Homo-oligomer: A and B are copies of this chain.
Amino acid sequence: MTNEHSVFQTLKAAGYKLTLQRRATVEAVCAAENPMTPQAFHAVISQNHPEIGVVTVYRTLDILKRLGLLCQFQLDGTAQRFKAGSLEHHHHLVCRCCGEVVDFGRCPLELETTLEKETGFRITDHRLEFAGVCRACQGKENQGPQSFSGNTGEPE
């Protein structure tokens, strides 16, 4: 749970107006434990503010994203999901079952340097994600919302 106020300030500082709908969206984003889709945020927001439209939520999320205040997730095929948090922190453990996301700080940056040398790429970004089943979900699999890909491969 990120603190809303710093987000408000960043928004303000960047020249954005602090409207009711933006406040509501920021609140929802900061309150969310797991990454959620824009639609899902809208659903939450609608509970208190039925007047706010999805479009505005999309637009606000887009702003937050541009400001680097959101982590963006997109596992295969599924709609994009957002979670409050800095872009610099790209390392996550995603539960295939409930969508829970655990962050972890360590990352193999030396590899990055090595790769730059070997490939000539100028590396600007990376993403390291582990997917699996979190402790709570172990045993109750098979209803999960997302997967990295993976299926039987048999003709049906």
Q: Assembly of this chain: how many copies? A: 2
Within A95-124, the residues touching B (CB, 8 Å) are: 95-96, 102, 104, 106, 108, 111-112, 115-116, 119-124
Distance between A85 CB and nearest chain B CB, rounded to angstroms: 12
Q: Does A39 make an interface contact (CB < 8 A)? A: no
* Known interface pairs A72-B149, A149-B72, A155-B15; A133-B122 also in contact (CB < 8 Å): yes
CB-CB under 8 A from A75, the residues of chain B are 74
User: A133-156 toward B: CB 8 Å interface, digit per residue (1/0)?
Assistant: 111001000000001111111110
Q: Which of A29-37, A44-52, A60-68 contacts B (4 or more CB under 8 A)?
A: A60-68
**Across the interface, do B72 and A74 meet the contact criterion of CB distance under 8 Å?**
no
- Contact with A155, one of B16, B122, B127, B152 (Cβ below 8 angstroms): B16
Q: Does A93 make an interface contact (CB < 8 A)? A: yes
CB-CB under 8 A from A112, the residues of chain B are 130
* Known interface pairs A111-B106, A126-B130; A95-B121 also in contact (CB < 8 Å): yes
9 residue pairs A–B, Cβ–Cβ below 8 Å: A14-B153, A14-B155, A63-B155, A66-B151, A67-B153, A76-B80, A93-B119, A120-B134, A121-B134
